[in-house]
Amino acid sequence: MQTVSDYFGSLVFDDRVMRARLPEKVYKSLKKTIDEGVSLDNQVANAVAEAMRDWAVEHGATHFTHWFQPLTGITAEKHDSFISPSPDGGVIMEFSGKELIQGEPDASSFPSGGLRATFEARGYTAWDPTSYAFLKGKTLCIPTAFCSYGGEALDKKTPLLRSMQAINKQALRVLKLFGNEDVKCVRTSVGPEQEYFLVDREMFDKRKDLVFCGRTLFGAKPPKGQELDDHYFGSIKPRVAEFMEDLNEELWKLGVLAKTEHNEVAPAQHELAPIYTTTNIATDHNQLTMEIMQKVALRHGLVCLLHEKPFAGVNGSGKHNNWSLATDTGVNLLTPGETPYENAQFLLFLCAVIQAVDDYQDLLRLSVATAGNDHRLGANEAPPAVVSIFLGDELTAILDAIEADSPYNAAEKTVMKLGVHVLPKFIRDTTDRNRTSPFAFTGNKFEFRMLGSANSIACTNIMLNGAVAQSLKLFADELEKADDFEGALHDLIRRTIHEHKRIIFNGNGYDDAWIKEATEKRGLLNLRTTPDAMPTILEEKNVSMLTGLKIFTKAEIESRYEIMMENYVKTVSIEAQTMLDMTRREILPAVERYTKELSDTLASKLAVIPGLPSRYETGAITKLSTLADQIDAQAGELEQAVLHLKTLTSVTESAFYIRDAVLSRMAALRVVCDEAETVTDERCWPFPTYGDLLFGVR
Ligand code: ADP
Ligand code: MG
């Protein structure tokens, strides 16, 4: 039998394959490109392309594609076959260095937020040699970045790579000041925990809301939901276990380090966590994971729902972005070190994150803003829309002591001095973990918990890397000028704690009192919805940070704003129209059918024995008729709103109109429809109920 180590990464053109198949010189120069970003020459590219093609063809591949991440949120690929005619009437399999390095997909229908109109009509894809090529079916997929001919990024990978470069550059400056001369590179790592739901495919197909929107727009609460907490970490049902087994095998073959899986809080909800890896690879892998999850689910007669809030009344799904910063020499910069000097360095990096999260709360918030995620943030299941940091009591006490120049430990008499005292190790406390914080320090990494399950992790990491790079830049600017490094360092750390400690909160993030304190006393932002959050990307401080670090150009920022807002508007518009369709063509007819059944029963009873008691029938008919009228009226209101929306030309105006007028009408329509469900014969109800969906997979 094949063991996991036999087939792990078997579909990946990874380091093992490269070393075995490339001439040594070519391998070395490719490694230099991967590790140090040195650009690739043509000869090397040709040699790599040849080896890649041979390997792929031996594995049954017939096509190749430049695999990229346009701003639609999913991945895109256009397949070209390797075949090229040979003079004897046959074909040979061809693939050149040029085809490996650059592609020209017909990009006109990918969103560009006006970028392509103002610059160039076509876009091109460029190979990202830092993320391995892999096989999907019969296609060799080459991870690429996607840009316009003017060089503007039209994808998520380009700015992500730029943000990694920015943080690398600034972190190296800081590390130099601490005498770390041997460090050549600093990379951010991410381990994204992915939540999802599994529902039966036959039931899924019967619900237009799931088919068109990925979430239910109607559904009365079932008698049982998640109140017993009996699903979390519960034993995995056989059908789900088979799915997970299959999923793991596919992911492992693709070199994705799928590590843990368990049931989540809501019924039918599960989670998969990978072992962390370099951010751009983690991003590629997370996209692949989502894609493979959906594909494998179908094979098992299931549908994998990645939507942030597929069901009202039960928890939605998130994606925890575990983030850390490490050197190529293997040091995690978010771990307190062994010596006082290393501790000072740790504290400085910690302060960089604290300042970054405080200064750029808005960017972190908007990096997770989507129509779907708006249903989660602030509901009592996910972090609030207010960004804050959890550090834990011990670390907070240390920072407090440093700020106040007072002894850290009451028993100690001496004041903690950077460069003299060793910090205690912050052992991760697994019994008392704060799960309500949007941004939690967990011993050697930060866990950003606001991300929605369907979101690409790229945007969050772009903003996080950018914000931390900016703090590090300011720190390096200040410290490089100092004559007395230790004194300047001490002052800087103290000042940063003092100025940014408002962002630290160790209490319960779900508590209403916290939101009040955060916004009223501490002046933190509470950007509740996507239209509230998104415009902040255009603020001067944000534009100047992102352009200053060369992560985005101004035009790219503006285009992204347009695309994100448009996406919000389109998503909710589709939902509203789906609701109208389901209401008028399924729900109202069902209610009417059942009313007729009751009326027929009543009439035939009275025909047999006039004056027979008929309290039940009369009451039910009256209730259903009243509800039908209310449903019709609410649908009319929603329709008016949808019609008005179509008259608005600005995407900003449309988004605000949705926030203020459309969503509330959708909610009002749902209430009456859900009530009708509870009083209609279940045989008449036109689609599977919450009970069917949530408990239907065994
Ligand atoms: P949990 O948060 O559920 O208690 P773990 O702490 O074991 O679980 O890990 C959760 C995720 O954090 C995993 O995906 C793991 O790979 C990732 N992770 C662990 N250490 C790091 C690190 N240093 N940097 C980034 N991610 C990490
Ligand atoms: Mg976690």
pLDDT single digits (tens) 424-470: 665 555 445 678 899 999 889 999 999 999 999 999 999 999 999 99
Query: Going by C-beta distance under 8 Å and a sequence separation of 6 or more, which residues neighbour residue 280?
Result: 128, 130, 131, 157, 160, 161, 164
Q: Is 136 in the pocket of ligand 1 (CB under 6 A)?
A: no
Nearest ligand to the CA of 430 is 1
Q: How far apart are CA 209 and CA 215, in angstroms?
A: 6
Q: Which of 113-127, 421-435, 641-655 has the highest mean pLDDT?
A: 641-655
Counting residues of the chain whose pLDDT is more than 70, the rounded percentage is 94
pLDDT, tens digit (0-9, with 9 covering 90-100), for 20-76: 999 999 999 999 888 877 788 889 999 999 999 999 999 999 999 999 998 877 788
Burial class of residue 614 (count of CB atoms within 10 Å of its CB; 0-12, 13-18, 19+): middle
Among 445, 451, 457, 464, the mutation site with the greatest number of ligand 1 atoms within 8 A of its Cβ is: 445
Predicted confidence at residue 431, as pLDDT, reads: 43
Q: Is 506 in the pocket of ligand 1 (CB under 6 A)?
A: no
The atom of ligand 1 lying closest to the CA of 332 is 23
Q: How far apart are CA 491 and CA 394, in angstroms?
A: 21
Q: Is 335 in the pocket of ligand 1 (CB under 6 A)?
A: no
Q: How far apart are CA 300 and CA 66, in angstroms?
A: 29
CB 357 within 8 A of CB 525: no
Predicted confidence at residue 693, as pLDDT, reads: 95
Q: Is 332 in the pocket of ligand 1 (CB under 6 A)?
A: yes
Predicted confidence at residue 412, as pLDDT, reads: 62
Query: Going by C-beta distance under 8 Å and a sequence separation of 6 or more, which residues neighbour residue 242?
Result: 300
Reported as a pLDDT band with limits 50, 70 and 90, residue 423 is low
Predicted confidence at residue 266, as pLDDT, reads: 82
Predicted confidence at residue 111, as pLDDT, reads: 76
Q: What mean pLDDT comes out for the span 2-21?
A: 94
Predicted confidence at residue 428, as pLDDT, reads: 56
Residues β-bridged to residue 262: 271
Secondary structure (DSSP) of 337-368: -SSHHHHHHHHHHHHHHHHHHHHTHHHHHHTT
Q: Which one, of 473, 673, 684, 688, lies nearest residue 594 by Cα?
A: 684
Among 264, 276, 432, the mutation site with the greatest number of ligand 1 atoms within 8 A of its Cβ is: 276
Mean pLDDT of the chain: 91
Listed range (108-112, 503-507, 605-609, 676-680) with the worst mean pLDDT: 108-112
Tokens of 11: 């579909």
Q: For the whole model, what pTM was predicted?
A: 0.94
Q: Is 318 in the pocket of ligand 1 (CB under 6 A)?
A: no
Angle at 633 between CA 629 and CA 639, to 5 degrees: 145
Predicted confidence at residue 379, as pLDDT, reads: 79
Nearest ligand to the CA of 193 is 1
Among protein residues, the one whose CA lies closest to atom 4 of ligand 1: 430
pLDDT of residue 116 exceeding 80: no
Q: What mean pLDDT comes out for the span 363-379?
A: 95
pLDDT of residue 420 exceeding 70: no
Q: What is the 593 CA–ligand 1 centroid distance (Å)?
A: 54
Predicted confidence at residue 86, as pLDDT, reads: 87
Q: What is the 450 CA–ligand 2 centroid distance (Å)?
A: 11
Among protein residues, the one whose CA lies closest to atom 11 of ligand 1: 191
Q: What is the 322 CA–ligand 1 centroid distance (Å)?
A: 6
Predicted confidence at residue 409, as pLDDT, reads: 66
Please list, residue by residue across 48-66, b when 16 or more beta carbons sit within 10 angstroms of its beta carbon and e when fewer do.
bbbbbbebbeeeebebbbb
Query: 417 or 686, which is more confident?
Result: 686
pLDDT of residue 228 exceeding 80: no
The atom of ligand 1 lying closest to the CA of 276 is 16
pLDDT of residue 684 exceeding 90: yes
Q: How far apart are CA 260 and CA 254, in angstroms?
A: 17
Q: What is the 322 CA–ligand 2 centroid distance (Å)?
A: 7
The atom of ligand 1 lying closest to the CA of 324 is 24
Secondary structure (DSSP) of 153-195: B-BSHHHHHHHHHHHHHHHHHHHHHTT-TT---EEEEEEEEEE
Q: Is 273 in the pocket of ligand 1 (CB under 6 A)?
A: yes
Q: What is the 12 CA–ligand 2 centroid distance (Å)?
A: 28
Predicted confidence at residue 124, as pLDDT, reads: 86
Q: What mean pLDDT comes out for the span 506-521?
A: 93
Q: Is 276 in the pocket of ligand 1 (CB under 6 A)?
A: yes
- In three-state secondary structure terms, 76 is strand
Give me the helices (H) in 22-102, please: 24-36, 42-58, 97-101
Q: What is the 368 CA–ligand 1 centroid distance (Å)?
A: 20
Predicted confidence at residue 380, as pLDDT, reads: 75
Predicted confidence at residue 634, as pLDDT, reads: 98
Predicted confidence at residue 427, as pLDDT, reads: 54
Q: How far apart are CA 170 and CA 315, in angstroms?
A: 39
